[in-house]
């Protein structure tokens, strides 16, 4: 890319380093950095074609979408290997937050409902229930009320657009969430001819990220963001060996 303004170049480089430290090697980093580069190009064009004061205050993203509306996920890995979305403060996904008392009976009841829903919808849509349970374990650790900083909701961590696509009216409802998540992974399994690892890459990292990074087979997992590289083998382990307790 030709950058005529050295200050613009330095600013982009510094912003890239700051984003990488905050977001890691994730799909969201790719999106934001691409937007940053595009913004630099647009500024050069804008200086020629229009008054600089009329430039947009927002980095260009998808048509009609502002950067602050992007579903960004900044994740860290906890001791037990479960990924939890954070906002630089205390864990937003965990049911057990500071000062919050948890009803053990309610937690047990939720887990029983989750297993019942998994049995029902895994059978209905022809998926191994251990795969669904593995996704739930890694996504939310069976927390029915999990809501991430990026807006992913429920036991299978569905986004708003997933809920809309699958007709989910209450994403924190266990049965609706499990059915939506099962439909979602089923679509990826069909897309990749039953290849579970490829389907999990898409579920966690996004089909678009796979395409941009040239992922053609499960052997290309190393091309995906580090979060997905960790996610896939952990879910595969649950899938093959089951979940204890």
Rounded Cα–Cα distance for residues 213 and 96 (Å): 37
Cα separation of the two ends of the chain: 53
- 139 counts as catalytic: yes
Question: Within 13 A of 234's CA, how many CA atoms are on the CB side?
Answer: 18
**Taking Cα atoms as reference points, which of 4, 12, 8 lies closest to residue 35?**
12
| Half-sphere CA count of 60, side-chain side, radius 13 A | 10
- Whether residue 127 contacts residue 189, with contact meaning beta carbons closer than 8 Å, is answered with yes
From 8, 54, 55, 139, active-site residue = 139
Q: Give catalytic residue positions.
A: 139
């Amino acid at each position: 890319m030709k950058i005529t303004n050295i200050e613009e170049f330095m600013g982009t480089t510094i912003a890239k380093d700051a984003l990488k430290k905050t977001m890691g090697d994730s799909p969201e980093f790719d999106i934001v950095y691409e937007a940053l580069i595009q913004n630099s190009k647009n500024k050069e064009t804008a200086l020629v074609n229009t008054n600089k004061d009329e430039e947009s205050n927002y980095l260009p993203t998808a048509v009609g979408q502002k950067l602050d509306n992007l579903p960004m996920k900044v994740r860290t890995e906890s001791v037990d290997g479960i990924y939890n979305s954070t906002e630089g403060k205390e864990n937003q996904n965990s049911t057990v937050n500071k000062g919050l008392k948890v009803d053990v009976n309610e937690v047990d009841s939720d887990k029983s409902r989750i297993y019942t829903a998994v049995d029902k919808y895994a059978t209905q849509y022809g998926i191994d229930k251990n795969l669904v349970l593995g996704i739930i374990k890694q996504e939310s650790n069976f927390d029915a009320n999990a809501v991430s900083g990026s807006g992913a909701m429920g036991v299978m961590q569905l986004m708003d657009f997933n809920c809309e696509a699958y007709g989910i009216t209450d994403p924190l409802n266990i049965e609706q969430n499990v059915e939506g998540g099962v439909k979602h992974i089923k679509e990826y399994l069909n897309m990749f001819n039953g290849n579970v690892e490829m389907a999990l890459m898409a579920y966690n990292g996004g089909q678009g990220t796979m395409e941009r990074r040239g992922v053609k087979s499960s052997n290309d997992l190393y091309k995906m963001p580090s979060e997905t590289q960790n996610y896939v083998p952990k879910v595969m382990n649950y899938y093959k060996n089951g979940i204890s307790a």
